[in-house]
Chain A
Amino acid sequence: MKRRHFLAAAATAAMPARAALGQGTSGASRVLKFIPQADPAVLDPIVTTAAATRNHGFAVWDTLYGLNQDYAAEPQMAQSHAIENDGRRVTIRLREGLKFHDGEPVRAADCVASIRRWAARDPMGQVLMARTEEILAPDERSIVFRLQRPFPLLFDALAKVTPPVCFIMPERIAATPPNQPIAEIVGSGPFRFLADEREPGSRVVYERFADYVPRAEGVTTWTAGPKRVHLDRVEWHAMPDAGTAANALIAGEAQWWENPPVERQAALRGNRTVVMEIPDPTGFVGMARFNHLHPPFNSMAIRRALLGAVDQEEFMTAVVGADRSLWREDVGIFGPGTPLANDEGMSVLTGNRDIEKVKREISEAGYGGEKVVLLAATDFPTLSAIANVGANLLRRVGMDVELIADEWATLVRRRANRAPPSEGGWSMFFTFWSGIDTANPGVHQALRGNGERAWFGWPTMPRMEELRSQWFDAPDLGAQQRLARQMQAEALREGPYLPLGQYFQATAYRRGISGLLKGLPLFWNVQKG
């Protein structure tokens, strides 16, 4: 007997009430200990767009529609829907027997209040509300949208997994203003949040919601299909140190680590107790975002010229190394592998890289040696890597580059500054977006061209806004794809940002865990032992 087992046995004998090591749980075999990418500091999935909070949201709350592996919406809480009056009246019927964690039934009025709160924060929700005359709850189980004109993407909007997600909350909670965090975490999802076991910054605990009724039919993929729970309890243990997380996984103190960094992956792959796989086929898409308000990147010709200098392989190699199975380099505007991804105008990114030609084009476009201020986040190695490659690239094409390396919290403050770079503003920053968050114009914030109200960088691209508006009205996928090609061409003409490639983030879990779903870290369908 190893000493630790002896100590554990002694402790168990001394305190029979004590359960699994360290966390006071019972039935350890059905307890899953999970190491998330970060602690969800804010637990309200509408106030924040943080991915960790969105993932927490899917444990606690349910959605009217789910997203399947083909990136299409399927009824989830909804039993069925009816489209009438030439698409201007949509009635969604709720499934029977749905309950919140406080025991109250889920009513249509709860859904209406939740949709209103979500829509106030969500770009697709805002379009939906702009086209909605009224949302009604004529009875306990019917939600009626009275629309000014048809909105073919209604179900896609309600199913989207890009934060903020349209989670359904009790009406009294959904009445909270959308910029103010909710005070109670009560949902109707497959897991109940245990508020008294929450340790901010360290631990989030959920237990199986016994009254959850999964869909009877369908295939479980992404957030669609039956959400069957095989675990009694899920514990999130935030571990800021990657070495500690790796050790905890290897030692069996945790069973699933959401996102081991690249430098730890080789060691984990070599461990026979650990399995590694790529859960999200849409990966992460890198971008160098221009500030369109000030020289030199207020010049479309300069932005466009720089597309010819981008070598996505160089960027992705700096992020995840030479293993080509972990990244791809032919990345355009929409997340590769998603329905709207296309090859329109891609030659500007995939053709021969000619730095001398780019130098000439930049000079001809009027670059006058202005200082280019780049913002780089030092606390995320992936962001730091693409920022350094980006700085080097701009220097090679003859730009006067100042790289400001700082923590993310400082960077986000500065990127909100619209002043010229010499007065505390900036010229370019680097970030990664989840591939699914670039899957269509409704969620792709970096494609917005509405000037002062656009995402940081504030591009004004009227043609892009017009195409986006048309996309919302597109009657079917074919029409959406045709518009997506035009949008990509427009984006590669205007250059709101430089696409830097896509990498795939591996997840690591103990052998013996099964049923992990593709896409997000979700806990239904997962089995232990």
Chain B
Amino acid sequence: MFAYVVRRVLATIPVMAIVALFVFSLLYIAPGDPAAVIAGDQATPDDVERIRQSLGLDRPYLVRFGSWVWDILRGDLGVSIFTNLPVATMIKQRIEPTLSLMIVTLCLAVSIAVPMGVVAAWKVGTWIDRMVMGFAVLGFSVPVFVVGYLLAYVFALELDWLPVQGYTAFSQGFVPWIENLILPAVALGSVYIALIARITRATMLEVLQQDYIRTARAKGANQVSILFLHALKNAAVPIVTVIGIGIALLIGGAVVTESVFAIPGLGRLTVDAILRRDYPVIQGVVLLFSFVYVLVNLVIDLLYTLFDPRIRY
């Protein structure tokens, strides 16, 4: 097991190298000019050119790439073209809101979606099942930003229960922290809940047909223990896989959700950096996201062994 983990961690190095090369090259050939954006609309072509030179944007591809890789190897993600701040500092500033949003969404989604899927499978064909599946279709069909606007309108503007936007750091208290996260987490979680609920239902339906479930029923085990101890544990591997894959969904969804709820997280940082062509920030954030995704996959692979002892690495 330990050797497997070490192997997997080492395997992230070439993956990250490919991501780095890909991202850098893509940005190099992408149209756009941060120097012109910095200079502003009224700057003359000469002004823009001087800024481009001072930023080193006129250097050849290989020189820029080599310099960037060398900095990364020394643990330096570079400096933002616009703010002049180290990219690592900017990521550090933004990581808490995004992490908070993802954790709350994950907890909310799993705690709602798994029981929903289990109940739908148990009551298959009934109105409960149809309601759950109807919700799942809705969750998939309605875009996150629409859900976000609706929630903000009802719960923030009309009922005045929760804030419209913004983020409060956890250090300022749990209540304000969670107040700011409820609506974004529900909005972001809607697709995720739908996905997990559907997979849970489908997997549970399959497991509930197995002989050992019939045996448990014959032995007089109660419904709750059949569903949650016998069936759910055996259905866990695909569910955990979907939860893991869904992390990528959350990262993508966070970009939209953070804009709709004005949360100063990594998603907004990424969008702003892309719109302005702040290359070092884009490169740093994409590297971070890639690393997180590789790590999540590793954790999920390791979790398999908990749910299914037959799996060995």
Q: Which residues of A contact B (CB under 8 A)?
A: 2-4, 7-8, 10-11, 14-15, 18, 21-24, 39, 41-43, 47-50, 53, 121, 123, 162-163, 177, 179-181, 183, 199-203, 237-241, 243-245, 247-248, 250-251, 253, 379, 406-410, 412-416, 431, 433, 437, 445, 453-456, 458
Cβ contact within 8 Å between B37 and A412:
yes
Interface string of B254-270 (1 = CB under 8 A from A): 00000111101000110
Q: Which residues of B contact A (CB under 8 A)?
A: 31-34, 36-48, 50-51, 53-54, 80, 82-85, 90, 93-94, 149, 152-153, 156-157, 159-169, 172-176, 179-180, 259-262, 264, 268-269, 271-272, 275-278
With A3-B161, A15-B173, A49-B39 already in contact, the answer to whether A201 and B272 are too (CB < 8 A) is: yes
A22 to B33, CA, bound (A): 35
Closest 10 pairs (CB-CB, A-B) = A49-B40, A202-B264, A412-B36, A413-B33, A11-B175, A409-B32, A41-B82, A49-B42, A410-B31, A200-B83
Cβ contact within 8 Å between B42 and A7:
no
Cβ contact within 8 Å between B40 and A240:
no
Cβ contact within 8 Å between B262 and A42:
no
Across the interface, A181 reaches (CB within 8 A) one of B84, B168, B169, B176, namely: B84
- CB-CB under 8 A from B37, the residues of chain A are 408-409, 412
With A7-B175, A445-B42 already in contact, the answer to whether A416 and B156 are too (CB < 8 A) is: no
With A48-B40, A241-B259, A455-B44 already in contact, the answer to whether A200 and B80 are too (CB < 8 A) is: yes
Cβ contact within 8 Å between A456 and B167:
no
With A22-B163, A253-B166 already in contact, the answer to whether A414 and B31 are too (CB < 8 A) is: yes
- CB-CB under 8 A from A180, the residues of chain B are 54
Central interface residue in B37, B42, B164, by most chain A CB within 10 Å: B42
Min Cβ gap B77→A in Å is: 15
Q: A3-B161, A22-B163 are in contact. List 19 more A-B contacts (CB 8 A).
A: A11-B173, A11-B179, A18-B176, A22-B176, A42-B83, A199-B93, A199-B264, A200-B85, A237-B262, A240-B272, A243-B260, A244-B165, A248-B166, A251-B156, A251-B164, A379-B275, A412-B33, A437-B42, A454-B44
Across the interface, A433 reaches (CB within 8 A) one of B41, B172, B259, B275, namely: B41
Central interface residue in A10, A48, A415, by most chain B CB within 10 Å: A48
Central interface residue in A14, A23, A49, by most chain B CB within 10 Å: A49
Return 20 A-B CB contacts under 8 Å, by A number. A18-B172, A18-B173, A41-B82, A42-B83, A48-B43, A121-B47, A162-B42, A179-B47, A181-B84, A199-B94, A200-B80, A237-B262, A240-B271, A244-B260, A251-B160, A379-B275, A408-B37, A416-B48, A431-B41, A455-B44
Min Cβ gap A423→B in Å is: 15
Min Cβ gap B300→A in Å is: 32
Min Cβ gap A287→B in Å is: 11
- CB-CB under 8 A from A202, the residues of chain B are 262, 264, 268
- CB-CB under 8 A from B161, the residues of chain A are 2-4
Cβ contact within 8 Å between A201 and B269:
yes
Cβ contact within 8 Å between B33 and A41:
no
Min Cβ gap B233→A in Å is: 37
Chain A: which residue is nearest B278 at the CB level?
A41
A295 to B260, CA, bound (A): 45
Across the interface, A41 reaches (CB within 8 A) one of B36, B156, B276, namely: B276
Cβ contact within 8 Å between A22 and B42:
no
A408 to B39, CA, bound (A): 13
A508 to B268, CA, bound (A): 24
A431 to B43, CA, bound (A): 13
Min Cβ gap A272→B in Å is: 14
A202 to B265, CA, bound (A): 9
Across the interface, A11 reaches (CB within 8 A) one of B32, B33, B165, B176, namely: B176
Cβ contact within 8 Å between B262 and A244:
yes
Across the interface, A201 reaches (CB within 8 A) one of B46, B162, B264, namely: B264
Min Cβ gap A373→B in Å is: 14
- CB-CB under 8 A from A123, the residues of chain B are 44
- CB-CB under 8 A from A183, the residues of chain B are 84
- CB-CB under 8 A from A247, the residues of chain B are 152-153, 156-157, 164-165
Across the interface, B36 reaches (CB within 8 A) one of A4, A200, A413, namely: A413
- CB-CB under 8 A from B276, the residues of chain A are 41, 409
Chain B: which residue is nearest A200 at the CB level?
B83
With A200-B82, A240-B271 already in contact, the answer to whether A21 and B176 are too (CB < 8 A) is: yes
Cβ contact within 8 Å between B51 and A241:
no
With A47-B51, A48-B40 already in contact, the answer to whether A244 and B261 are too (CB < 8 A) is: yes
- CB-CB under 8 A from B31, the residues of chain A are 406, 410, 413-414
